[in-house]
Structure 1
Amino acid sequence: MSGFCGGAEPIDIGSRRELFVDDHLVERISGRARLRLHRPVETDDVFVHDTAWEGSRSMYHTVFRDGDRYRLYYRGSQIDLSAGKYAIPYNVTCYAESHDGIHWKRPELGLVEFGGSKKNNIILSGEICHAFVPFKDTNPDCPAEHRYKAIVAIYKPTRGLHVYSSADGIRWSPMSDKPVITTGYFDSMNLAFWDTVRGKYVGFHRALRGGPGMLKPPSHEASTKDVMTATSSNFLKWSEPDWLEYSPERWTRFSTGTTRFSPFVQLYTNQVQPYHRAPHIYVGFPTRYVAGRSKLTGLNRRLSESVEYFGVDYTDGGFMTSRDGRRFKFWDEAFIRPGRPVRGRWVYGDNFQALGLVETKSGETAGRRELSMYVGEGLWRQCRLRRYTLRLDGFVSVQAPLSGGEIVTRPLKFAGNRLELNVSTSAAGSVRVEIQDAEGQPLDGFRLSDCREIFGDRLDAVVGWTAGPDVGRLAGRAVRLRFVVRDADLFAYRFVPGR
């Protein structure tokens, strides 16, 4: 007995790569299989903010690959907490670049004077530099003079998001003299990008539930940090922003059990972006903001002397995903942890992940690529950027011990001749695949007993059955995939044309 009812409309995945970051394609998980969130591996500091125009408040980093180089944009800033003060003398926007995503340099641009000299990597200064967030526009209709775009919050005379453009990513000009979005709070890193799958610009920005003109949260909090989204066809006229929705629902799941409700986490930055190897899926790396805890270290106690919440609020990194840009699967465990207190990252403002995932050479496996992501630390002292790494597609896996477990998909249709898996097993472990009809009955030639065991560590392991790997005769037909996993991690799958 299959246990499935017929009639469900199959999901057409074509030859897209599918990740196990949500249950969109999952009908059933059984045995000892589970979906496991993987944390990235911490490596070294790759960029230290040690120039006169950077320092103790440098943050809001953006990284992206642009041809044969990597670009890095960030805020350069100092903060003065001496004698209990809280003063910010300046903000500037800075630029750095790299040939490999690991070793970075500051080009001497000669654009903006600082301290009597233009020998620096500053591209902008003034009110637009609180969080200047650029991207390279991949819209095929984008004119060359607007190839690079940016979204930035300006607070006077009207609080809102403004848009800028550039031909070279260095010299920027405003695209409008008025804000393009005014619903929100914007006092953090706001972002936008061109969505190649949906054919429109998509933006995500900071807002306060319970703030001026905002929806009241179901709690006694005056306001709660959260995220809104809007879309545009031309980057100048935007839809009215909507709140993100989350599963599981973030408001009620972590009640304190007292009359005062306190959300478990609030969201500071969002860092939502299409995942480049599966651009129909958005991945987000929000900074999780946890308020009102005790003072863990001496630094926390010193910060509280200036502003109380600086010493009792903490930040770390989260993970969430979406397929429509509004409803997000929110993982309730940290993606980036502060680590041991001696590392000094247990402080408000640290562990902010940069916007952008880039592929870099693996430091462990010759010829293999991996994901690099960058996380800020050292706020209030000397800010720096640390690189973390993760295997390609390695955010979440179907994982099971040697005793085994399995996952069965919903009915789907595909295009291609071969099935490839991103998989990592132990020496004793394996993954096998059965292809079933829409009702869950095994198809002749593609039964589990026909499948050759896959073992090892591959990004593109080809599934084979007794008759070979060719699945072309099933293309366009409603089928289910049954994955049986033993002491292994299965990260992603994809149907591809035969080679």
Structure 2
Amino acid sequence: MPSPKLRMKSLLAFLFATSGLAAQTLVEIGGKADGLVIDLRYTTADNYFKTAFYPRHAQALLRPATAAKLAKVQAELKSQGLGLKIWDAYRPLSVQRAMWKALPDARFVADPSKGGRHNRGAAVDATLVDAKGVELQMPTAHDDFSEKAAAHFNLVPPAVFKNREKLQQVMTNHGFALFDSEWWHFDDVDWKQYEALDVPLDPLSAAQRQKHLLLDSRVVEQATNARLVLGTPQKHPANPLFQADKPWENSMNNLYPNVIWDEEEQLFKLWYKCVLADKEVIAQMDQPSTVHDVGWYLLYATSKDGVRWDKPELGLHKFAGSSANNIVARDCPNVGVFKDLHDADPSRRYKMVSDVGLGKPQVRFSADGFHWGAAVAAKGFGAQNGDTHNNAFWDERSGKYLWFTKLYLGERLVGRLESDDFITWKNNGLVLRSSLEEGRTSQTYCMPVFRCGSIYLSYVMMYHVGKGRTVDCELAWSHDGLHWQRVAPGTPFIPRGAKGSYDSECIYAMAGPPILRDGQFMIFYGGDDFPHTGWKRHCLPCLATLRPDGFAGYAPVEADKPARVLTRALRMTAEPVCITADVSPGGSLRVSAVDEQGAVLDVAEAISTSVTDAVLKWEKGALKVPTARFRIELDHAVLYAISAGDLLNQELPPLVNPLKMATRMIHPATTRTISFDADVQGWKGVDKLEHHATGGAKGGYIHVSRSGKSLPIALSPITSKESPFAGDWTQIVGGKGAEITCQVRAARAGGRVMIELFANDLAQWQFETKTSFANEWRQVAA
């Protein structure tokens, strides 16, 4: 097996707390004990289990008090020309479960139902090294589960016995206890005061968690002669990156690109959608099958630079009698793929999400990204979820898997689900829709999501159903992954090309975060020169680059006048304050730290060139204040991000409600009444409609019915000319509010009555009343 890379740690301690686990703090021990050799054995398969349970770049973490004890051990050993090598430290419970499944023996693996000392961040596996980092001889290797591994096994050579005794003595002198069956395992004597955790070993760095993009509306408190402007992605001159030049690439419809940079393999990986629309092509599949009357392949390509791509001949699926192709899966429409470094099970390292129709989601697992297991039905989805580019990922912040897909309720909306195990999902419902002004003309088609700094970002594909069926890629953000806002509604983030060009009609952005290479964000997308209609069309892979964090920033409105931005208050930490900005030649960016009253606390050295995560240099040295706001003056500059502490006030700015403004004119209150005189023509959700002159609560009534399990829907007149409800209610109804009442009765008792209000042909408001259907007439109010 290849030997793991050893990492000499001498950095400051890195503290982190996950969402909901603020008090469950762990510290990276490489900084607490200078000179420690970190060799986490479970980051590779070079261990007893022959499995890499940890991510490749996992951190060695402990409780702060445990880490402080270990630092004293290292300091004593260092004075003697020795040191510690750490084989294991904190271990997530998810990993413990996987180990227990492989070796359910409490002598060597703690029962995960009880939680072990490693799971509490209060234990280490360690050995001794000399000044050059070379291991001293010990009774056994790590994870040698034999009698020789016992802490007091005596049949060992004198030199080995001396080394083991040296390790045990120095560890016990500083607050650690021996573990009888493993000479390398040491528990903090205070381990009982800590609870077992399942915090991932690859959390966002402190700098990333404290990086605030200026597009986050919570960051900027005041802007003078400054406005938020979208960044400008640059399309690569090699676009499109490759053609649909294989016989099985019958229709690279929408493409739905899923792209990662695999750090371990130093390789770009692309999984892309392919539809087999022509019957003669479907016939060449090995045992032809269709979903929605077309065939489906998931194809795979790789690249070393992201520009020149290879389609490897994988030999997995036959087409036209040959397996020399890049097909990795079939019968998986609307597919999303990602590499999951969180899951301790290596057979589930890669995960796929797809659907075979609305309400029919499925998942698959793979160890390598191209040998996929059978589809497994995902639970918890609604009947209207799916039929778009599904995308999912492990979210370190919430400690859950998130899945974003379509929610279809007469228009295309965005829905979100979350899961602990990737099989059973909790449906969070609607998270984003088009605006009232857009109506059904432009709809949210799909929304690949990723983390960026302290927030979530997404590419929102807006499907212009009423404007030529084109698709634009916009940008949206959320502070919690549930409440979303489009950054610049109606303005594309990646603009479509000129008429007739390769991406002139539709753009579908990648699933997954942008890839940082050579100082640039790489954003892959599918570009189409044909509208979003029909199966037979090609959407080809393309690339756009962006300066890091340059999604949107504050820039002067009038270039020749001073522009100023004032942030909300931030809680300062030991981390330096950093700035990301573009500064034009001759321009500058100046930052002052101010208190709540606006008094200057310190002034930073001016920035006169474009920078990314540049550390500010303060006149008084380090900025040592508990809280501060930052006043930034922009002269021919654009400010994208500021990295400091957490926002003291994380509330979203209140939305301006024009109905509650003091200047609103209150019109006299009136009553509007509607009747249901029209016949069934033009109605929706009704098979039969009958008029009765008498027998109603007050005179006549109508009876509507619908076959099947679906409930009938009684509509007011549906056109603005017919409906007395059409128009501005503040004027036609008046008053400070409105109440809708009606009388209802049902053939049999049932659920509660729902009243919906439509605007621009969209059901923008839904009211579930307190009244249930019954055999007698009942008044309903909303």
Give the corresponding residue for 1:220.
none
Give the corresponding residue for 1:45.
240
C-alpha change, 1:381 and 1:148, in structure 2 (3 Å) is closer
Which residue, out of 140, 143, 146, partners 2:345?
A: 143
Match of 2:376, SS? coil
Give the corresponding residue for 2:393.
193
Which residue, out of 79, 92, 99, partners 2:297?
A: 92
Map Cα deviations across residues 39-82 of structure 1 (whole Å, 9 max, x no partner).
31111221222111114334111101222111100112243599
Aligned amino acid, residue 395 of structure 1: F
Match of 1:145, SS? helix
C-alpha change, 1:411 and 1:495, in structure 2 (3 Å) is closer
Which residue, out of 351, 355, 361, partners 1:153?
A: 355
Aligned amino acid, residue 448 of structure 2: Q
Tell me the CA shift for residue 356 of structure 1: 2.6
User: Would you say 1:251 and 2:435 are equivalent positions?
Assistant: yes
Tell me the CA shift for residue 361 of structure 1: 3.9
Match of 1:324, SS? coil
CA distance in 2, matches of 1:337, 1:369: 19
Give the corresponding residue for 1:4.
none
Structure 1 residues 23-422: aligned runs within 5 Å: 23-30=217-224, 32-43=225-236, 44-58=239-253, 59-67=255-263, 68-80=266-278, 89-126=294-331, 128=332, 130-139=333-342, 141-155=343-357, 159-174=359-374, 176-177=376-377, 179-209=379-409, 223-245=410-432, 250-254=434-438, 262-263=439-440, 265-275=442-452, 278=453, 280-293=454-467, 312-330=468-486, 331-332=488-489, 333-343=491-501, 345-347=503-505, 350-362=506-518, 368-378=519-529, 380-400=536-556, 401-422=559-580
Task: Determine if contact 1:357/1:371 at 8 Å carries over to the other structure.
Answer: no
Task: Determine if contact 1:56/1:378 at 8 Å carries over to the other structure.
Answer: no
Give the corresponding residue for 2:706.
none
CA distance in 2, matches of 1:392, 1:55: 36
Match of 1:342, SS? coil
Tell me the CA shift for residue 225 of structure 1: 0.6
Match of 1:173, SS? coil
Give the corresponding residue for 1:304.
none
Give the corresponding residue for 1:454.
607
Structure 1 residues 3-14: aligned runs within 5 Å: none
Aligned amino acid, residue 439 of structure 1: Q
Map Cα deviations across residues 380-415 of structure 1 (whole Å, 9 max, x no partner).
554321111111101011111242211111111032
Which residue, out of 630, 636, 655, partners 1:487?
A: 636
CA distance in 1, matches of 2:514, 2:436: 35
Tell me the CA shift for residue 206 of structure 1: 0.7
CA distance in 1, matches of 2:511, 2:575: 36
Match of 1:241, SS? strand
Map Cα deviations across residues 126-177 of structure 1 (whole Å, 9 max, x no partner).
3x2x1221111132x531111111111023xx83211111111111114735
Give the corresponding residue for 1:429.
587
Task: Determine if contact 1:433/1:484 at 8 Å carries over to the other structure.
Answer: yes
Give the corresponding residue for 1:259.
none
Aligned amino acid, residue 241 of structure 2: V
Task: Determine if contact 1:161/1:182 at 8 Å carries over to the other structure.
Answer: no
- The alignment yields a C-alpha RMSD, in angstroms, of 2.5
CA distance in 2, matches of 1:117, 1:147: 28
Task: Determine if contact 2:580/2:611 at 8 Å carries over to the other structure.
Answer: yes
Aligned amino acid, residue 242 of structure 2: F
Tell me the CA shift for residue 253 of structure 1: 3.8
Aligned amino acid, residue 218 of structure 2: H
Match of 1:406, SS? strand
Task: Determine if contact 2:460/2:474 at 8 Å carries over to the other structure.
Answer: yes
Task: Determine if contact 2:553/2:640 at 8 Å carries over to the other structure.
Answer: yes
CA distance in 1, matches of 2:516, 2:385: 35
CA distance in 1, matches of 2:637, 2:320: 57
C-alpha change, 1:345 and 1:81, in structure 2 (3 Å) is farther
Match of 1:109, SS? coil
- Range moving further from structure 2, 325-334 or 458-467: 458-467
TM-score by length of 1: 0.78
Aligned amino acid, residue 440 of structure 1: G
Map Cα deviations across residues 196-255 of structure 1 (whole Å, 9 max, x no partner).
12211111111112xxxxxxxxxxxxx111110111111122112310047xxx43244x
C-alpha change, 1:191 and 1:320, in structure 2 (3 Å) is same
Map Cα deviations across residues 320-362 of structure 1 (whole Å, 9 max, x no partner).
0111111112121111222211315444xx2111213343544
Structure in which a larger fraction of residues adopt strand: 1
Structure 1 unaligned regions, length at least 5? 1-11, 210-222, 255-261, 294-311, 363-367
Aligned amino acid, residue 191 of structure 1: N
Map Cα deviations across residues 411-449 of structure 1 (whole Å, 9 max, x no partner).
110323522211111122111111112333222xx1xxx
Give the corresponding residue for 1:442.
600
C-alpha change, 1:236 and 1:178, in structure 2 (3 Å) is closer
Task: Determine if contact 1:206/1:225 at 8 Å carries over to the other structure.
Answer: yes
C-alpha change, 1:81 and 1:343, in structure 2 (3 Å) is farther
Aligned amino acid, residue 272 of structure 1: V
Tell me the CA shift for residue 287 of structure 1: 1.1
Aligned amino acid, residue 456 of structure 1: T
Map Cα deviations across residues 108-131 of structure 1 (whole Å, 9 max, x no partner).
1100001111000001123x2x12
Aligned amino acid, residue 268 of structure 1: Y
Task: Determine if contact 2:589/2:606 at 8 Å carries over to the other structure.
Answer: yes
Task: Determine if contact 1:36/1:396 at 8 Å carries over to the other structure.
Answer: yes
Match of 2:347, SS? helix
C-alpha change, 1:159 and 1:484, in structure 2 (3 Å) is same
Aligned amino acid, residue 455 of structure 1: S
Structure 2 unaligned regions, length at least 5? 1-21, 23-204, 281-291, 531-535, 646-782
CA distance in 2, matches of 1:177, 1:27: 46
